[in-house]
Amino acid sequence: MLIGVISDTHIPARSRNIPNKVFEVFEDVDLILHAGDIESKEVIESLEEIAPVVAVNGNCDYDLGLNDHEIITVDQTRIGLAHGIVYPRGDTQQLYYLARELNVDVMITGHSHQPMIEKVDDVLLLNPGSPTQPRMCEPSVMLLEINDDKIDARIVVVGAPTCKSLDFSRFKH
């Protein structure tokens, strides 16, 4: 299964729309996961034109009727989806404990606006970054491919690079 992962779109409060490149990257996905800070149902509706969407509340989402976390099972892999409101932002120890609390193999979060692929003990921690409001990095989303117990996660830059060399992580297991 090919999954598109996105977070921190902040539309319309901070951005006008999702970059067209996101729709190109997600063109062949089977499912889209949005890790919160959506701000408008129209974002979910536009992504649903590509594939089914599972989304969670972020700290800037109000009245969207979403849960704070979701658990999705793909093949034998349990995926946790939450906004990941921890301080400092992106703290891997706290995100690891959240994954253990949810009993998942993969924990997808947003909130930091920075992409991350990191394995902590037996948990894969993922953050797609933000396609509209990146912090000290390029605008990005993630593609996650799961086949049986094999996981391939990669960051995809969806905006014009501002530096000469980009070294984004990739995880294969």
Bridge partners, residue 74, by sequence:
77
**What is the SS3 string spanning the chain?**
CEEEEECCCCCCCCCCCCCHHHHHHCCCCCEEEECCCCCCHHHHHHHHCCCCEEECCCCCCCCCCCCCEEEEEECCEEEEEECCCCCCCCCHHHHHHHHHHHCCCEEECCCCCCEEEEEECCEEEEEECCCCCCCCCCCEEEEEEEECCEEEEEEEECCCCCCCCCCCCEEEC
Average pLDDT, 10 consecutive residues per value, the chain (173 residues): 97 87 97 97 97 97 94 96 87 95 97 95 96 92 94 91 48 61
pTM, rounded to two decimals: 0.91
Q: Which residues make beta-bridge pairs with 141?
A: 156
pLDDT tens digit sequence for 73-82: 999 999 999 9
Give tens-digit pLDDT for 125-149. Answer: 999 999 998 888 999 999 999 998 8
The pLDDT value given to residue 170: 60
